[in-house]
Amino acid sequence: MELSYWWILPLAAAAVTVAAWLYLRRRRSVQTRVVAHGDRLTDLPEYRLALRRYRTRLALAALLAGLVLVASAITAARPALRSTEQPEIRNRDIVLCLDVSGSMASTDAALAAVFKDLAKQFDGERIGMVIFDSSSVQLFPLTDDYDYVEEQLSHAEKALSDGAGSFFDGTWNGEGSSLIGDGLASCVQSFPDTDPSGNAAGDTARSRSVVLATDNFVSGAPIFTLSEAAALAGTKNVKVHALNPSDLDYGDQPDQPGAQLKAAVEATGGAYSGVDNPEAVPRIVRKVQETEATTYVSAPQAVVTDAPGWPLGIAVLAGLGMLVLGRRVEP
């Protein structure tokens, strides 16, 4: 237990001392008069009993008033408990990877809403987001600030709905458009560097997932093919989960975009779903949770908690006692 504003106590003691001195000084200056035969009154048993009651009540009132003053001063000094905590942190990193090419224009806003819904279902993970067309832009890096994540996803949803040009700045710097392999490779590279064993350098092993939203309709010559980007994800222990808004537009032949996307993400251990599938988001959440490694304890953090309960309780009880004593006691 410690007092945040300990200096209030000596100030309160000084104020009480000055008030008591002024009271005693005033009392000494009061003129008294001698009454003849006063002992006839003071010797009466009823008088003595009433006097004892009065003095007892006065002493109790003084004691309770002192308790009220002391407890109030301690409360004003803000008693607090200081402790050290080492919270457990879930070691999952998730990058949301959104294709913002022309073929995705009609579904990107809905996908941003899906991402926002997806982010709400995680707890303790770090989340980042990358958008891409012919080149990639990191919308926000990996973070566990969920208020910030929600704010950015809401901004993305609005920008994608309105077609705001500034939101897409930086995504047209390459040749062609909808370079899926390059976009996925950029998302995979958004994770911290890894050592040869595949673990984050200088950090506890963390599970890594990319949630990729694309129709896999390539228009250009990417540096990375989709399969090469998936292989890169595999070397970095990254699982890729895909959401395809055009899943129903393609057949299941191996050379079709949807089939190629499904094969690529499943090769990394990830899941593939159509956006219209009501089980898409819950399925991806389950797949990400299946990759969770054991939680680890973060660095110690000092925690200061206000603890005004006991002095306030004493002050309230003492005040109630004074109210009871203030009532007239029948003999």
Which has more pLDDT, 51 or 280?
A: 51
The size of the chain, in residues, is 331
- The pLDDT of residue 201 is 47
Residue 131: closest CA among 89, 96, 79, 88: 96
What would the mean pLDDT of 285-289 be, rounded to a whole number? 73
Weakest mean pLDDT among 74-83, 118-127, 183-192, 193-202: 193-202
Weakest mean pLDDT among 114-128, 175-189, 211-225, 275-289: 275-289
Kindly give, in sequence order, each residue whose CB lies less than 8 Å from that of residue 92, ignoring residues fewer than 6 positions away. 122, 124, 125, 126, 206, 207, 208, 209, 288, 291, 292, 293
Which has more pLDDT, 18 or 279?
A: 18
CA distance 204 to 215: 35
Give 169-221 pLDDT, tens digit per residue.
Answer: 888 887 777 788 999 999 999 988 755 454 544 444 678 889 898 888 888 88
Q: Judge whether 259 and 215 are in contact, CB under 8 Å.
A: no
Residue 127: closest CA among 144, 115, 139: 144
**DSSP code at position 88:** E
**DSSP code at position 304:** E
Which has more pLDDT, 136 or 43?
A: 136
In terms of C-beta density within 10 A (0-12 exposed, 13-18 middle, 19 or more buried), how is residue 267 classed? middle
- The pLDDT of residue 295 is 55
What mean pLDDT value characterizes the chain? 79
Give 144-176 pLDDT, tens digit per residue.
Answer: 888 888 888 888 888 888 776 677 788 888 777
Q: How far is CA 94 from CA 100, 102, 178, 218, in A?
A: 19, 25, 22, 24
Kindly give, in sequence order, each residue whose CB lies less than 8 Å from that of residue 280, ignoring residues fewer than 6 positions away. 114, 243, 273, 274
pTM for the full model? 0.60
Q: Which helix (H) or strand (E) holds 215?
A: none
Q: Judge whether 268 and 241 are in contact, CB under 8 Å.
A: no
What would the mean pLDDT of 244-250 be, rounded to a whole number? 66
- The pLDDT of residue 194 is 56
**Can you tell me whether residue 1 is helix, strand or coil?**
coil
**Tokens at 24, concatenated:** 């005693």
In one-letter notation, the amino acid at residue 120 is K
Give one DSSP letter per residue of 97-154, joined into a string: EEE-SGGGTTTHHHHHHHHHHHHHT--S-EEEEEEESSSEEEEEEEE--HHHHHHHHH
Q: How many Cα neighbours within 13 Å face the side chain of 278?
A: 0
- The pLDDT of residue 187 is 93
Give 295-321 pLDDT, tens digit per residue.
Answer: 556 667 778 888 888 888 888 888 888
Residue 132: closest CA among 189, 178, 185, 190: 178
Q: Give me the residue label for tokens 């009061």.
A: 30
Provide the CA 112 distance to its chain's centre, in angstroms. Answer: 22
Dihedrals phi, psi of 289, to nearest 5 degrees: -65, -30
- The pLDDT of residue 330 is 45
